[in-house]
A = this chain, B = another copy of it.
Amino acid sequence: MVRTKTRWLSASEQKAWRAYLEATTLLFDALDRQLQRDAGIPHAYYEILVRLSESECRSMRMSELADATRSSRSRLSHAVARLEERGWLKRVECATDKRGQVAVLTDAGYAALVDAAPGHVEAVRRHMIDQLSAEQISQLEQIGASIVTGLETGECKAVRAEED
């Protein structure tokens, strides 16, 4: 592999990257702590409950759920197993595909979510939304969307390029 000259970050780019990194580290840690303390689950598990609660019949195929939560299949399997142990959801076989599993939120799981949501939303609001102007919030949405697009469309290209 030919090593081309590294395009280092400019001073302003580095400053932005570090601010973003620092803010995100602090914020995500704070949110994880809040949820762990008040609901006994990490944020990743909370998201699983949220997605299930928002979908038809409070259920989703494992792979859909993995995509929706931006989680690996493996991570989701482990997480769902833990949540199942608590009785917050259950797995049932998929009717149309014998390989498939469908995760279904139970009433207990829904109740747990209803319980956890206010505290979590308050934390998101206090630590993030309330710190930003309306303008910044819409900027952040745009920024997030751009990054997501880049990562989604760039993956194949990137992988291929690295193999050259």
Give A contacts to B, CB under 8 Å: 3, 6-9, 12-13, 15-30, 70, 117-118, 121-122, 124-132, 136-152, 154, 158
Known: A122-B6, A124-B17. A150 touches B130 (CB 8 A): yes
Chain B residues whose C-beta falls within 8 Å of the C-beta of A13 in the assembled complex: 125, 129, 137
Q: Across the two chains, which residue of chain B brings its CB closest to A29? A: B70
Q: Is the interface of A mostly helix, strand, loop or mixed?
A: helix
Q: Across the two chains, which residue of chain B brings its CB closest to A6? A: B118
* A47-B152 Cα distance, complex, nearest whole Å: 26
Q: Are B24 and A24 in contact (CB under 8 A)?
A: yes
* A11-B149 Cα distance, complex, nearest whole Å: 21
